[in-house]
Structure 1
């Protein structure tokens, strides 16, 4: 019988027991090199290890492109779990890279047990190593996707906290802008903050720029467009805290200051209000 086919059939037939043994080896190895590592995610992945062994075994007799296609199809079907248990990318990927070496070591043991020739052991190792790399790359993408989602959620929370409408007296409220104003935060203002203003019984809105760290010309145009929108809704808009560096950005953006009421501080703006 073809030697590669022999290894393939052995892996597929014994995928469950091999997956269990590999999981135990991985857990033991990780526990020995890093005492504080969370092992729960690897226990959760035991069934996936069994499936992966069967897929790798079946892939040995297939062209690399087809084997990779089938592996990617399986990866899309299974859900990556336990990502939230890892505090950093290195903490997540380092154990997975270690798992690769354990996988390959076990495959070599199987080949030696089945008395496979050195040439075919090399061929088998190349195929398995390539497919595990594909698997690891997907894990990297999964972690990046998880972190990106977390960052979006954190940014949304920050936006909600950093752009509140603060009522200060009857009919008067302040919108304090704090930190670096970028496209995402402007979109939050336009999509979530601005639509709530007409329902708050506000006659005068003071937009305070004193807490802004940075702003570019395009963003400045968006923010000052809020002035025009609110005026159409019958709300008077006052601007405060526009420092010289922000003034330069506004001028470069081609924004006409003549139609705006500006004050040095929120206190001055409040004192100017005659309701």
Structure 2
């Protein structure tokens, strides 16, 4: 039985390039279109397909653990190529399954020529099918990692947009906060306000909290930390927009704003800084 597997494996390896040319996607118009627009020349793409086919052949008589590692590396590289060429995950996986058809056609031809025992087909399947599944698994994982990175980038950009530092005139900016403030967002507010204050040469920063639904002890403490950090850099902070109901809650909680300057509205703070409607 081992001799039969070795013979089939060697035949696959010897004809890897010819078999790779048979991995075609005419029936998948979407995948064909994506491949035509890809950056990898078709000749190079065929050579790359031949490498995987060769691994399948070597698996029938070589060290299977070593072949698995090679297949994993191939799957990762294939995923990166597909991602770079904007080929979707579904199209990529459909393409991988075509390798199974090509391998089985070659195997069936040899089976008929050599009159191998029927059980040989099962033995080949037990070796090659898990490798094909492994390739698909690795490609799926790489696409998932890529999508996760894209989501993280998008989320970071969205977070930064949620902390807009708006220049009014030279040296004066407004930072309106809308929505709940937790520890993570408070850190983001601090980082962006400090960075932008230095970049813009800010002297006064109006921190408007009229869009914050709840100011409890935790939120107040977070705002204090932001104000203190800005004051250490020479920026004077004015907090505006503390609504009456929130002011009552603040008093009941025993939260003291101390020496921090507060004003009822942003307009009032701007007027005090000499900015009025013309």
Residue 194 of structure 1 and its aligned partner are, at CA, apart by 1.1
Counterpart contact for 2:171–2:202, Cα < 8 Å: yes
Match of 2:195 in 1: 195
Is 173-182 or 225-234 further displaced after alignment?
173-182
Match of 2:28 in 1: 30
Trace 1:60-139 onto structure 2 (pairs within 5 A): 60-62=60-62, 64-75=64-75, 80-83=80-83, 86=86, 92-115=88-111, 116-139=116-139
Counterpart contact for 2:39–2:85, Cα < 8 Å: no
Residue 61 of structure 1 and its aligned partner are, at CA, apart by 1.9
Look up the SS of the partner of 2:28 in the other structure.
helix
Runs of at least 5 residues in structure 1 that lack an aligned partner in the other structure: none
CA RMSD of aligned residues (A): 4.0
Aligned length: 266
Residues 1:55 and 1:173: Cα distance change in structure 2 (over 3 Å): same
Residue 181 of structure 1 and its aligned partner are, at CA, apart by 5.7
What is the CA–CA distance in structure 2 between the aligned matches of 1:130 and 1:216, rounded to whole Å?
A: 57
Counterpart contact for 1:182–1:215, Cα < 8 Å: no
What is the CA–CA distance in structure 1 between the aligned matches of 2:213 and 2:21, rounded to whole Å?
A: 55
Is 158-167 or 4-13 further displaced after alignment?
158-167
Counterpart contact for 2:165–2:196, Cα < 8 Å: no
Match of 2:20 in 1: 19
What is the CA–CA distance in structure 1 between the aligned matches of 2:39 and 2:170, rounded to whole Å?
A: 59
For residues 48-79 of structure 1, give each alpha carbon's deviation from its aligned partner in whole angstroms, at most 9, with x where no partner exists.
Answer: 21111111211222454333123224445667
Counterpart contact for 1:220–1:249, Cα < 8 Å: no
What is the CA–CA distance in structure 2 between the aligned matches of 1:179 and 1:217, rounded to whole Å?
A: 16
Pairing 1:269–2:269 present: yes
What is the CA–CA distance in structure 2 between the aligned matches of 1:150 and 1:131, rounded to whole Å?
A: 29
Residue 15 of structure 1 and its aligned partner are, at CA, apart by 1.1
Counterpart contact for 1:104–1:125, Cα < 8 Å: no
What is the CA–CA distance in structure 2 between the aligned matches of 1:80 and 1:156, rounded to whole Å?
A: 23
Match of 1:164 in 2: 164
Is 215-224 or 200-209 further displaced after alignment?
215-224
Residues 1:35 and 1:230: Cα distance change in structure 2 (over 3 Å): closer
Residues 1:78 and 1:92: Cα distance change in structure 2 (over 3 Å): closer
What is the CA–CA distance in structure 1 between the aligned matches of 2:90 and 2:17, rounded to whole Å?
A: 25
Residues 1:189 and 1:271: Cα distance change in structure 2 (over 3 Å): same
Look up the SS of the partner of 1:140 in the other structure.
helix
What is the CA–CA distance in structure 2 between the aligned matches of 1:85 and 1:214, rounded to whole Å?
A: 47
Pairing 1:230–2:226 present: no
Residues 1:43 and 1:221: Cα distance change in structure 2 (over 3 Å): same
Counterpart contact for 1:38–1:85, Cα < 8 Å: yes
TM-score, normalisation: structure 2: 0.75
Runs of at least 5 residues in structure 2 that lack an aligned partner in the other structure: none
TM-score, normalisation: structure 1: 0.76
Residue 80 of structure 1 and its aligned partner are, at CA, apart by 1.6
Look up the SS of the partner of 1:82 in the other structure.
helix
What is the CA–CA distance in structure 2 between the aligned matches of 1:209 and 1:68, rounded to whole Å?
A: 57
What is the CA–CA distance in structure 2 between the aligned matches of 1:254 and 1:67, rounded to whole Å?
A: 68
Pairing 1:154–2:154 present: yes
Look up the SS of the partner of 1:238 in the other structure.
strand
